[in-house]
Amino acid sequence: MISRVMSAELAEHAGQRVTIAGWVHRRRRLKSVSFLVVRDRAGLAQAVTEGDLPPEESVVEVTGTVAANPQAPGGFELVSPEVEVLAEPRVAPPFDLYRPVVGASLPTVLDHAPVALRHPLLRAPLEISAASAAGFRETLDGLGFTEIHTPKIVASATESGANVFGIDYFGRTAYLAQSPQFYKQTMVGVFERVYEVGPVFRAEPHDTVRHLAQYTSLDAELGFIRDHRDVMAVLREVVAGMLDSVRRRAAPALDLLEVALPEVPDEIPAIHFTEAQELTSSGEPDLAPAQERWLSEWAEKEHGSEFLFVTGYPMAKRPFYTHPDPARPGYSNGFDLLFRGMELVTGGQRLHRYADYTAALAAKNEETGPYRGYLQAFRYGMPPHGGFAMGLERWTARLTGAANIRESTAFPRDLNRLSP
């Protein structure tokens, strides 16, 4: 390995001659002296030089003596540097990566993602995303969950029927999985508690700021629950664990983006769907975005919580595998978790008896044939179970306050965008 110290470690090497390596973040020529600011994965370091200044995004090794300078990043800089250029850029970046704000439109950023993401502000959401996924797994590992990897190519477009991508699968038509729902339920029969972090695919025909054709779904499912409230309790731990992980693992990104992380109440407030309808004076069988925003504000005022569970959504609005509320026919043991004005997580208790599945499908005039693989699990005995799914990009966008979900992923896929 190139023997180097990281930019953030200069202080530990005061007076020593060391090598840093990274990209030329900025050249600054002053009257009597010049600065070369080098960016590495840990941050920025500055070298004071009288020699040549290679252009921005040159890849360099800089060997110099570490000297204190209160005005340098981290309070130390390299003096008497020797600069070796490992690779030269062929062209200048489409916008200045060293400026504190991003001086380019989102389409420009997305078209030039390979270089644009080097801007610390554009890289930061991806650091928060990585820390969040780590916290998701860490929390569930601690609760006895097992990680699974399920097929992304499926035989039938069963889960919603709409918005699926078709594939040519060895001459047959197959589909990209819209979620690991059926497989994670099935695996409750094997491991009781499972999770998956993986891509899901939605052929979303609308170009909106909150939809992607591929996103990373954080899925969990667990057996031997009483009802959906046990799922909500696990979700509360997961959200708290994700935030804790972000705090520990992505502190610089949080600082850079000036993100204030939410507190998670020991018990997240929960209201029933009918109560949400009353509060928002709605007679509709679902909550519109404006109502979700209103409810989020209400939870903040009323309960001091940026999180709010809405439970008991009407069965008519939930998928066929949803478990009804035994006490209130027509309402489900399903829930949404609202966060900062938007649905962040959908979850609930699922049916677990084979006869309930065949009845639910019959009620929707659906054949059981296309569901045969899935229904196998229930033919052989399944415990009461439930789970939830959260989009990693949506979570990150809500945390960072991104206006467009495309800022929460490196290489978004949508109706129009298939590269880079």
Distance between CA atoms of residues 136 and 216, nearest Å? 12
| Degrees to nearest 5, angle at CA 364 with 363 and 370 | 115
Residue 134 sits in the site that holds a copy of itself (CB under 8 A): yes
- How far apart are CB 292 and a copy of itself at their closest, in Å? 26
Of positions 89, 262, 269, 341, contacts a copy of itself by CB under 8 A: 89
Structure tokens of 254? 């949080």
Of positions 93, 262, 269, 341, contacts a copy of itself by CB under 8 A: 93
- The contact mask relative to a copy of itself for 229-268 (x = CB under 8 A, - = no) is -x--x-----------------------------------
Distance between CA atoms of residues 242 and 139, nearest Å? 8
Query: Judging by beta carbons within 10 Å of its beta carbon (0-12, 13-18, 19+), is residue 237 exposed, middle or buried?
Result: middle
- How far apart are CB 327 and a copy of itself at their closest, in Å? 19
- How far apart are CB 388 and a copy of itself at their closest, in Å? 15
| Degrees to nearest 5, angle at CA 305 with 243 and 290 | 105
At 379, which helix (H) or strand (E)? helix 372-379
Stretch that binds a copy of itself, among 169-177, 258-266, 297-305, 325-333 (CB under 8 A): 169-177
Distance between CA atoms of residues 243 and 254, nearest Å? 11
- The contact mask relative to a copy of itself for 303-342 (x = CB under 8 A, - = no) is ----------------------------------------
Stretch that binds a copy of itself, among 197-205, 254-262, 272-280, 318-326 (CB under 8 A): 197-205
What residues from 356 to 385 belong to the interface with a copy of itself (CB under 8 A)?
Answer: 372-374, 376-384
Close Cβ partners of 8 (under 8 Å, ≥ 6 residues apart): 42, 43, 74
Q: Count the Cβ atoms, other than its own, within 10 Å of residue 364.
A: 8
Closer to a copy of itself by CB, 136 or 313: give it.
136
Residue 163 sits in the site that holds a copy of itself (CB under 8 A): no
Distance between CA atoms of residues 17 and 64, nearest Å? 5
**From its phi and psi, is residue 296 left (phi > 0), alpha (psi between -120 and 50) or beta?**
alpha
Distance between CA atoms of residues 257 and 124, nearest Å? 7
- How far apart are CB 246 and a copy of itself at their closest, in Å? 13
Residue 206 sits in the site that holds a copy of itself (CB under 8 A): no
Of positions 18, 44, 45, 148, contacts a copy of itself by CB under 8 A: 148
Stretch that binds a copy of itself, among 9-17, 45-53, 134-142, 292-300 (CB under 8 A): 134-142
Stretch that binds a copy of itself, among 144-152, 259-267, 277-285, 310-318 (CB under 8 A): 144-152
Closer to a copy of itself by CB, 294 or 395: give it.
395
- How far apart are CB 117 and a copy of itself at their closest, in Å? 5
At 278, which helix (H) or strand (E)? helix 273-279
Closer to a copy of itself by CB, 172 or 301: give it.
172
Q: At what angle do helices 120-142 and 228-249 cross, to 10 degrees?
A: 130
Of positions 129, 179, 277, 349, contacts a copy of itself by CB under 8 A: 129
Name which of 147, 155, 168, 146 is nearest 374 in CA terms: 155
Whether the Cβ atoms of residue 357 and residue 351 lie closer than 8 Å to each other:
yes
Q: Count the Cβ atoms, other than its own, within 10 Å of residue 316.
A: 10
Of positions 59, 67, 121, 256, contacts a copy of itself by CB under 8 A: 59
Of positions 106, 126, 279, 342, contacts a copy of itself by CB under 8 A: 126
Residue 189 sits in the site that holds a copy of itself (CB under 8 A): yes
Residue 277 sits in the site that holds a copy of itself (CB under 8 A): no
Stretch that binds a copy of itself, among 87-95, 277-285, 323-331, 336-344 (CB under 8 A): 87-95
Whether the Cβ atoms of residue 217 and residue 200 lie closer than 8 Å to each other:
yes
Spell out the alpha helix ranges (H) of 61-219. 106-111, 113-116, 120-142, 181-191
